[in-house]
């Protein structure tokens, strides 16, 4: 069976089946990309510490035979992850001190974060929660009731952010139930979803999911995560269009990553492509200093120069806000 036919069959399957068929080994991913692991700085130890997972939908956007592909750089376990970089730690944004007894993270005024699941459709090597103790803090079915009660009792909370992991990896029934439960809380105004799935596994944007979101009594804000224009293929465009056409506001958060998007052309093209397909460039994050991610760091001074050049080339509505997280701060810190 040809590789092209394999992909055709794969993309005809539902999102759960596509997820089950994701690449989980360095050798399989390299074979698909016509690369030899022997020619790359890969590390089995890094993969053992933080497993590789890459859906075919994302891998299919990579340039085959290119070891420097910007999408490949985001997911390939490499030796540099094992280096100890000064200032990097296992909880760089201060999630753990802000975690309530129910597993809800309450760092910012008026907003709380639900850690729905520790699972993601893709394991991004720069992830700031790659060392997060999900087993202790993710919202299991048993904890959800207490978490909902926590939000009900604090009338100062106006927005719930569903995060993880990735909240869209919840099954449709459980996800719909959670949306209904949140919808019943009178003082809530908005439910915000942070998900990479429209980008890396767009098959997850199903009619059933759309119906759940549209039927919610609360305003739905959808924040996707895309770092490079090459991540945007026809399936991603269709998923974003489906969300947009159903009245769901779409924003994008990116992370500034060395070797991925740390140049003016890449950042400008990303903003242009996002906006063309109905997504507002929202944040460009300075890398959170999580253990294992130091090789992705772009110095803040360099980031500031980059975003000023982007600002000079694009209209203001296409320029994302350059921000960083600071543990213990009451909000994100604006750099520009």
Which region, left, alpha or beta, applies to residue 223 given φ > 0 means left and ψ of -120 to 50 means alpha? Answer: beta
Residue 173 has pLDDT above 60, yes or no: yes
Find the Cα–Cα–Cα–Cα dihedral 203, 165, 67, 37, rounded to 10°: -110
pTM score, whole prediction: 0.93
What is the pLDDT averaged over residues 105-115? Answer: 87
Residue 133 has pLDDT above 60, yes or no: no
Burial class from Cβ neighbours inside 10 Å (0-12, 13-18, 19+) for residue 17 reads exposed
Above pLDDT 90, what percent of the chain?
A: 76
Let me know: does 225 contact 201? Beta carbons within 8 Å: no
pLDDT level of residue 96 (50, 70, 90 thresholds): low
Residue 21 has pLDDT above 50, yes or no: yes
Cα(301)–Cα(52) distance, integer angstroms: 31
Poorest-pLDDT segment among 6-20, 69-83, 128-142, 235-249:
128-142
pLDDT level of residue 100 (50, 70, 90 thresholds): low
pLDDT in tens, 196-226: 999 999 999 999 999 999 999 999 999 999 9
Domain boundaries, the chain: 3-82, 95-334
Let me know: does 317 contact 288? Beta carbons within 8 Å: no
Cα(81)–Cα(22) distance, integer angstroms: 22
Find the Cα–Cα–Cα–Cα dihedral 37, 51, 61, 6, rounded to 10°: 80
Cα(88)–Cα(291) distance, integer angstroms: 5
Q: Which CATH architecture has domain 95-334?
A: Alpha-Beta Barrel (3.20)
Beta strands 249-255 and 159-164 are unpaired
Tokens of 166: 């990735």
SS3 per-residue string spanning the chain = CCHHHHHHHHHCCCHHHHHHCCECCHHHHHHHCCCCHHHCCECHHHHHHCCCCECHHHHCCCCCCCCCCHHHHHHCCEHHHHCCCCCCECCCCCHHHHECCCCCECCCCCEEEEEEECCCCCCCCCCCCCCCCHHHHCCCHHHHHHHHHHHHHCCCCCEEEEEECCHHHCCHHHHHHHHHHHHCCCCCCEEEEEECHHHHCHHHCCHHHHHHHHCCCCEEEEEEECCCHHHCCHHHHHHHHHHHHCCCEEEEEEECCCCCCCCHHHHHHHHHHHHHCCCEEEEEECCCCECCCHHHCCCHHHHHHHHHHHHHHCCHHHCCEEEECCCCCCCCEECC
pLDDT level of residue 103 (50, 70, 90 thresholds): low
Find the Cα–Cα–Cα–Cα dihedral 243, 244, 249, 251, rounded to 10°: 90
Sheet hosting strand 190-195, strand order edge to edge:
111-117, 159-164, 190-195, 219-225, 249-255, 280-285, 321-324, 333-334
């Amino acid at each position: 069976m040809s590789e092209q036919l394999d992909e055709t069959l794969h993309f005809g399957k539902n999102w759960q089946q596509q997820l089950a068929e994701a690449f989980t080994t360095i050798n399989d991913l390299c074979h698909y990309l016509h690369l030899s692991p022997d020619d790359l700085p890969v590390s089995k130890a890094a993969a053992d510490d933080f497993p590789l997972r890459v859906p075919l939908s994302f891998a299919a956007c990579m340039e085959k035979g290119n070891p420097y592909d910007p999408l490949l750089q985001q997911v390939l376990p490499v030796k540099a992850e094992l280096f100890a970089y000064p200032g990097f730690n296992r909880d760089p944004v201060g999630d753990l001190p802000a975690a309530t007894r129910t597993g809800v993270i309450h760092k910012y005024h008026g907003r709380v974060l639900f850690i729905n699941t520790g699972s993601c459709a893709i394991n991004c090597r720069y992830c700031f929660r790659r060392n997060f103790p999900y087993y202790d803090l993710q919202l299991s079915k048993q904890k959800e009731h207490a978490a909902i009660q926590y939000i009900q009792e604090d009338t100062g909370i106006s927005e719930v952010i569903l995060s993880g992991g990735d909240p869209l990896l919840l099954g449709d029934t459980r996800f719909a139930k959670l949306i209904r439960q949140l919808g019943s809380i009178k003082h809530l105004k908005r439910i915000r979803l942070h998900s990479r799935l429209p980008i890396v596994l767009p098959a997850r944007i199903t009619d059933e999911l759309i119906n759940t979101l549209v039927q919610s009594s609360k305003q739905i804000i959808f924040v996707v995560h895309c770092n490079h224009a090459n991540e945007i293929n026809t399936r991603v465009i269709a998923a974003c269009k489906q969300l947009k056409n159903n009245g769901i506001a779409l924003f994008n958060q990116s992370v500034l990553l060395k070797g991925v998007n740390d140049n003016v052309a890449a950042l400008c093209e990303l903003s242009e492509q996002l906006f063309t397909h109905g997504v507002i460039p929202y944040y460009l994050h300075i890398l959170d200093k999580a253990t294992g991610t130091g090789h992705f760091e772009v110095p803040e001074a360099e980031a500031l120069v980059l975003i000023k050049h982007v600002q000079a080339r694009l209209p203001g509505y296409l320029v994302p806000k350059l921000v960083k997280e600071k543990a213990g701060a009451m909000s994100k810190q604006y750099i520009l």
